[in-house]
């Protein structure tokens, strides 16, 4: 695996943008999400750990997306390619995984739609940033 073409600035920017999107998404949908997730805010433990973990996960998602988009476009990513790969990764892995896990866990489709919508936005934004920034400039 060739990491030399990874645009690390793009990876960091993509993760920050994705994390901020998640904050806005779940602030806007907090009441329906809490209900769908069967959580009571009064009994929930307050911790910054989920926020840290989600940012680290989005950094990894951005890195993997950069590697995939770079490899699949012959090292010439574009905004459209980033969006397409973001959608394909979401459809192939995230939407399917959430659909299966939420059925086994006894949650309704409302939780799946909220969470899947979040991850669709995350992967589209990550893909767009990765594609828009392109690969790293290699010193020659």
Q: pLDDT means per 10 residues in the chain (140 residues)?
A: 87 98 98 97 93 98 96 92 97 98 98 98 98 77
CA distances (Å), 8 to each of 17, 61, 102, 127, in order?
14, 13, 34, 14
Q: How far apart are CA 45 and CA 117, in angstroms?
A: 25
Q: How many helices (H) and strands (E) does the chain have?
A: 6, 0
What pLDDT, on a 0 to 100 scale, did the predictor assign at position 2?
Answer: 72
**Nearest residue to 66 via CA among 14, 110, 130:** 130
Q: How far apart are CA 59 and CA 52, in angstroms?
A: 11
């Amino acid at each position: 695996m060739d990491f030399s073409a990874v645009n690390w600035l793009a990876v960091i920017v993509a993760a920050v943008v994705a994390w901020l999107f998640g904050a806005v998404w779940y602030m806007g949908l907090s009441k329906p999400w809490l209900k769908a997730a069967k959580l009571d805010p009064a009994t929930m433990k307050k911790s910054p750990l989920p926020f840290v973990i989600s940012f680290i996960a989005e950094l990894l998602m951005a890195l993997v997306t950069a590697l995939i988009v770079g490899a699949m476009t012959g090292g010439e990513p574009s905004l459209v390619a980033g969006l397409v790969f973001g959608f394909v990764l979401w459809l192939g892995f995230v939407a399917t995984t959430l659909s299966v896990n939420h059925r086994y866990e006894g949650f309704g489709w409302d939780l799946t739609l909220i969470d899947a919508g979040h991850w669709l936005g995350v992967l589209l934004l990550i893909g767009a940033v990765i594609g828009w920034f392109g690969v790293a400039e290699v010193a020659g």
